[in-house]
Amino acid sequence: MELAESLEVKEILRRYREVWALEHALSLMTWDMETYMPEAGFRERGEARAVLRRMIQRTLTSQELKSLVWRAEPRNDFERGVIRVLRREIERLEKLPSEFVEEEAKVATEAYSVWVKAREKSDYKLFSPHLGKVFELAKRKAELLGYEKHPYDPLLDWFEEGFSVADCEKLFSIIGELSELFRKVSERHPREHPLEKEEYDKQRMRELNMRVLEAVGFDFKRGRLDTSPHPVTFGLGLDDVRITTRYHERDFRRSLFAVLHEFGHAAYDMNIDRVLWLTPVQRGASLGTHESQSLFWENVVGRSIAFVEAFYRDMIEYLPFLRSYSIEDIYTYFTLVRPELIRVEADEVQYVLHVYLRYRIEKEILEEKLSVSELPQAWEELMEELIGVKPKSHREGVLQDVHWSQGYVGYFPTYAIGRVLAAQIALSVKDLDEKVRERRFSEVMSYLRERVHRWGAVYPPRELVKLALGEELKPPRLLEYLRLKYL
């Protein structure tokens, strides 16, 4: 990859280091908050984070940096990437007045704390006025950001560069067939599996997770594995990437697959080309692209018979109860398909149906076709239509996700993008099963590194996908992948 050639870009990169350092500090603080921070540290940490955020904003929107960015005439792909990413960030920061940003943060903080209680009590009425405010703000945000066709467009683009309602319609054009496929597969699968109930030793489970991580290529000199309530990855830098998982005493696949999922995110962050270090393009191309990497490792690699074969001995060693189960049993347990009410518990066949439901609701609210008070009913009807089950409580329905309470409207479709991309990658890697069975993970990784990871955010996500796979995002590929695996 070519480096910065023009003087302006060199100067921009010099100034950008301040932002990089602040972001580095922010992600370290967030990691700590999710793992080891004492409970009462919350308020001070919140204050400190807000101040750092304002410092980043001040640096990015400073007249000097701004005029450099707008004046620059990029000479190569790297420089074009730097300018594209910075323009996008600066424009966003400038379109949203600071009062709006503050109000957004306030509404989200309150909505989140009410959501926690409302979810516990399964009380939608308690949450609904706050959700109303969240959607009102989303509408205002869309107006502030501006759009040509649909108010949802700028909200989608916020999370996935260049993505619009038109793209979502294409993305979700497979829903009918997917729903059909899900019905067919789930009819053949049992509703329960004895392995879900087997109790494991948490310490031994952690050791198994470490063993698997080492085998797939996680570099412990450049990363850590910790525990947190919600598994997550923090890419602090190229040489400091931290992942987390959780340990319930039963159903060991949940801990293992969280590890593989976060490993996929971590591998992306660790494999970005070193020449992009400390620059605005030292990051994944988009949320959808990032999620494709985590899902590739979790679903494509992890939920395969080849993976069970490769790690059967290790699994037995750390989880002795597995001795009475065969490789086939474990594979069945890993790939169980049955109607689920909860998105995060959903298998890979039905997952996108859950995402589509949320997309439909967000879009209809923005179009003023649906009101917040009608939301639970719309939810139930869509669940019934798509997955064939109805939530018995709001807790397992409309109150299950954290996203809306945090003000994230337009986020969900990135999960579907990641799913489709992961399927496209699965279909494009040669002899994947053989490589997994023989633990030749470095060969799989070098494929991903060359095509996806190393480029960071140099190219916008759409372009990167074309470069990496020789085709665009192709939703029918998900059906193809699922049919091959499950039929």
Kindly list the residues in this chain that would bind Mg ion in the complex (CB under 5 A).
294
Nearest residue to Mg ion, by Cβ distance, number only: 294
Residue 286 CA to residue 456 CA, distance in Å, equals 9
Quick one: 164 or 294, whose CB is closer to Mg ion?
294
Query: Would the CA dihedral through 387, 389, 394, 396 be positive or negative?
Result: negative
User: DSSP readout, 370-406?
Assistant: S-GGGHHHHHHHHHHHHTS---SSGGGTTTS-STGGG
Tell the smallest beta-carbon distance from residue 232 to Mg ion (Å). 8
175-188 helix and 375-386 helix, angle to the nearest 10 degrees: 60
Tell the smallest beta-carbon distance from residue 343 to Mg ion (Å). 13
φ and ψ at 234, to 5 degrees? -120, 110
Tell the smallest beta-carbon distance from residue 259 to Mg ion (Å). 12
φ and ψ at 254, to 5 degrees? -65, -40
Tell the smallest beta-carbon distance from residue 290 to Mg ion (Å). 7
Quick one: 81 or 288, whose CB is closer to Mg ion?
288
What are the residues facing 242 on neighbouring strands?
224, 234
Quick one: 84 or 242, whose CB is closer to Mg ion?
242
Tell the smallest beta-carbon distance from residue 243 to Mg ion (Å). 10
Residue 379 CA to residue 432 CA, distance in Å, equals 38
Quick one: 282 or 414, whose CB is closer to Mg ion?
414
Quick one: 57 or 255, whose CB is closer to Mg ion?
255
Tell the smallest beta-carbon distance from residue 59 to Mg ion (Å). 29
Which tokens hold the place of 357? Answer: 């439901």
Q: Residues 273, 276, 278, CA angle at the centre, nearest 5°?
A: 130
Q: Say if residues 296 and 419 touch (Cβ distance below 8 Å).
A: no
φ and ψ at 242, to 5 degrees? -115, 130
Which tokens hold the place of 117? Answer: 């209680």
Q: Establish how many alpha carbons lie within 13 A of residue 5's alpha carbon, considering only the half-sphere containing its beta carbon.
A: 10
Quick one: 282 or 294, whose CB is closer to Mg ion?
294
Tell the smallest beta-carbon distance from residue 406 to Mg ion (Å). 15
Which tokens hold the place of 430? Answer: 């040669």
Residue 122 CA to residue 117 CA, distance in Å, equals 8
Which tokens hold the place of 170? Answer: 């294409």
Quick one: 179 or 245, whose CB is closer to Mg ion?
245
Tell me how far CA of residue 76 lies from CA of 1, 72, 179, 343, 443, in angstroms: 9, 12, 45, 42, 30
Q: Which of 104, 262, 298, 348 is catalytic?
A: 262
Sort 31 into a burial class: Cβ within 10 Å, 0-12 / 13-18 / 19+.
buried
Q: Pick from 378, 126, 209, 393: which is nearest to 224 by CA? A: 209
In the residue annotation, 262 being an active-site residue is answered as yes
What are the residues facing 234 on neighbouring strands?
242
Quick one: 127 or 408, whose CB is closer to Mg ion?
408
Q: What is the CA radius of gyration of the chain?
A: 23
Please report where in the chains the tokens 């959501």 appear, as a residue: 115
Quick one: 128 or 294, whose CB is closer to Mg ion?
294
Q: Say if residues 394 and 262 touch (Cβ distance below 8 Å).
A: no
| Strands 223-227 and 233-237, bridge-based pairing | unpaired
Tell the smallest beta-carbon distance from residue 287 to Mg ion (Å). 9
Tell the smallest beta-carbon distance from residue 261 to Mg ion (Å). 6
Catalytic residues: 262
